[in-house]
Structure 1
Amino acid sequence: MKNIVHITSVHKRNDIRIFLKECVTLAQGGYNVTLVVADGLGDENKSGVRILDAGMPAKGRLGRMLGTTRAVYRCAKKIDADLYHFHDPELIPVGVKLKRVRPSARVVFDSHENYADDIEDKPYIRPVLRPIIAGMYRMYERMAVKRLDAVVAATPSIRAHFERLGVTALDVNNFPFQQEFTTPAVGSDKKYDVAYIGAISEVRGVSQLVEALPTGNSKTLIMAGSIADPNFESRLKSSEGWAQVKFVGQVDRAAIKDLLSSARVAAVTFLPAANHIESQPNKMFEYMSAGLPVIASNFPLWKEIIEGNNCGICVDPLSPQEISRAVDSLVSDPTLASSMGENGRQAVLTKYNWDSEGRKLITFYAHILEGQK
């Protein structure tokens, strides 16, 4: 049985993509899987995966990038693995080092984002420094990933980016499990008009979504997630539309299912940042899986998914008025909303689901491990 080690210095041990999807799927596929984390919660065995805790994460971003990365490296190096699979860009030096000290092992980088584009939108980096830091990251990534065996990418566009660098890459999309969410009936008995789930920030278009609530027909929004920026939180909660928001904070997967069943439509109206245009938000597909019609940003890829499957309406995310009109059109026409919701659910059942992506990952592992001594 091949030994596989997944490594993260940032994500939680129960991260949906890393643990619940990739690690559990690989364990079910016959691999001996260990997940190395740094959260101070101790070691455990869960769902066939051994979780090793490298200790409490260091404080601050710099501390994490220096201290926590060293801690997870030391923990991972103790395991004689056939394949190391790491999940954070700050772990690229760790991956390169593992390849050097364990030359017979395969080393894979799981790129969840286009990180250079993401850096250019980081609010905690001074605007004048963002392109400089992004450029430095691009240069380092280009050199370092060629020393690894492969890249697993969260979207086709990220995969294409690494293929242009001459790196073996596969997109393993972050699609939902086929049957995780129940199918709510879209009708007049719903408590809320709109649902939003996920990180709550300016760049995710939450301000415009809240502004849309009192525009046109008055609407209610159920919102779940965390707000990292206290200044943004203050501005958001002082806006006119906030009175029509039910904010429940961070919730677990079971609560998400209940939350989605209480809404008529769902929204994912990210602003047109560089890292969003070709992204594939997990929440978009979870909304579809739950049978909810989706109000989405009018990016070309998103239009291909949403309008191509006739499962929602794409809008200008910068326009509260356009968002409002889209929501009103679906809330006022339950038959159309129900039809679009069912179209989205069927698209997930047949195409956008983790079952197919998990099989891709298993096949990819078999391929890159083939011939290993």
Structure 2
Amino acid sequence: MKVCHLTSVHPPEDIRIFVKECVSLYKGGHDVSLIVRNSETYEKDGVKIIGVTANASNRFIRMVKGPMAVYKKALEVDADVYHFHDPELIPVGLLLKRKGKKVVYDVHEDVPEQVLSKQWIPGPLRKFVSNVVKQVERFASKRYDAVVTATPTINDRFKTYTPNSVIVHNFPIMSELMGNTENELNASLENGQNSKEPYVIYVGGLTKIRGVLEMVDAISELNAVHNPRTKLYLAGAFAPAELQREVEKKQGWNDTEYLGFLNRSQVKKYLSQAKLGLVLLHPEPRYMVSYPIKMFEYMAAGIPVVAANFPLWKSIVEGAQCGLTADPMNPKEIAEAMKWILTHPEEAIEMGKNGQKAIVEKYNWEKESETLLQLYDRLAN
């Protein structure tokens, strides 16, 4: 089929949208395009990336101009199936349905829950906006041909709206972060445990709600009781940008290396040498039932995990025996978990191997892509 993915928010080579879904659909035999706001137009890995211009001076203008530009270009593409990835494109999906097209809504996040913690929405309005979003999603999803959800919790909600809702987890691509042979894997694990400058790493958005303040405090707590001194490597972008200045005032910043944004090959390089990976999001309701891609990427890279002790995350980490969990709001407890892994190198290597085994057996994109392709087979028929 001729397939067109749409986004007015994400970058052109977004990991879930482009690297995983679009490329998998192309390899599955489909003609695939991806329309992206404010991007260049080019082709990569068989996928035609089509940029549309929609500049805006503020968030609200962007939420109008972006979808309008994407819709206009979508009509020009004249695809059989349109697969969109942003809540602000819900009206675009409905307009495309009126044109007789097949439409798929890809739900990455639990948006009504997400709204409750959006700082740019005035506090008294958040619950109202959350309910409006939920009703809009209910109305629209009944009219689409399918809904793709990233987690079981999100899927449970959409199943009450439409039977055509399927889970496609955002798990890592096995071949991207794992060694190709057992010898390469063992060498990577040994290198990480014996690296001259020991470091722990976090890769992702650097925000308060994702635990950047607690991680920097935790590295300070760790180095107060553990030798050799261990560095914290932070990879990602601070949001808002002013947060970096607040973090730099902390004592733990002296033991922190800020790497900025890393491309995928750089992520692989830094993970291969790390002692462990951190994923310590705050206990927001939407995070507590999420499947954090970074945790699974650490597992794929073969490094132990120190994760927030949410019941779901704890069941994954303990079930795979691939790391430890801690209270994400307690830097001392985080430091204790890191110290245990750092002072038990043989167990750490086993945790790394266990994590990779769990990725191979269960938590990988290769299995999830089969679900996506099966959905498209049904749409074709």
Aligned 8 A contact 2:25 2:373 in 1: yes
1:316 to 315, 327, 330: 327
Identity of aligned residues (%): 40
**Equivalence for 2:258:** 247
**Equivalence for 1:212:** 218
1:136 to 132, 147, 155: 132
| TM-score, structure 1 as length reference | 0.95
SS in 2 for 1:10: coil
Matches within 5 A, 1:194-273: 194-215=200-221, 216-217=225-226, 218-273=229-284
Do residues 189 (structure 1) and 227 (structure 2) align? no
Q: How many residue pairs were aligned?
A: 366
SS in 1 for 2:175: coil
Deviations 1:155-188 (A, max 9, x none): 1211111002234111111111112114432423
Aligned 8 A contact 2:12 2:39 in 1: no
| TM-score, structure 2 as length reference | 0.93
SS in 2 for 1:147: coil
2:75 to 74, 77, 81: 77
**Equivalence for 2:15:** 16
Aligned 8 A contact 1:87 1:112 in 2: yes
Measure, in 2, the Cα distance between the counterparts of 1:307 and 1:57: 47
2:345 to 331, 334, 337: 334
Measure, in 2, the Cα distance between the counterparts of 1:86 and 1:271: 28
Residue 92 to residue 166, structure 1, CA distance change in 2 (3 Å): same
Measure, in 1, the Cα distance between the counterparts of 2:316 and 2:55: 38
Aligned 8 A contact 1:190 1:262 in 2: no
Unaligned 5+ segments in structure 2 are 180-184
Measure, in 2, the Cα distance between the counterparts of 1:40 and 1:340: 41
Aligned 8 A contact 1:223 1:246 in 2: yes
Bigger helix share: 2
Aligned 8 A contact 1:190 1:263 in 2: no
Matches within 5 A, 1:122-201: 122-181=118-177, 182=179, 183=185, 184-185=188-189, 186-189=192-195, 191-201=197-207
Shift of 1:260: 0.9
Counterpart residue type for residue 178 of structure 1: M
Aligned 8 A contact 2:5 2:84 in 1: yes
Counterpart residue type for residue 363 of structure 1: Q
Measure, in 2, the Cα distance between the counterparts of 1:124 and 1:327: 35
Shift of 1:227: 0.6
Shift of 1:121: 1.2
CA RMSD of aligned residues (A): 1.3
Measure, in 2, the Cα distance between the counterparts of 1:334 and 1:128: 50
Shift of 1:191: 2.4
Shift of 1:56: 4.4
**Equivalence for 2:93:** 95
Counterpart residue type for residue 22 of structure 1: E
Deviations 1:19-58 (A, max 9, x none): 11100100010001111111242x2121111111112443
Shift of 1:223: 0.8
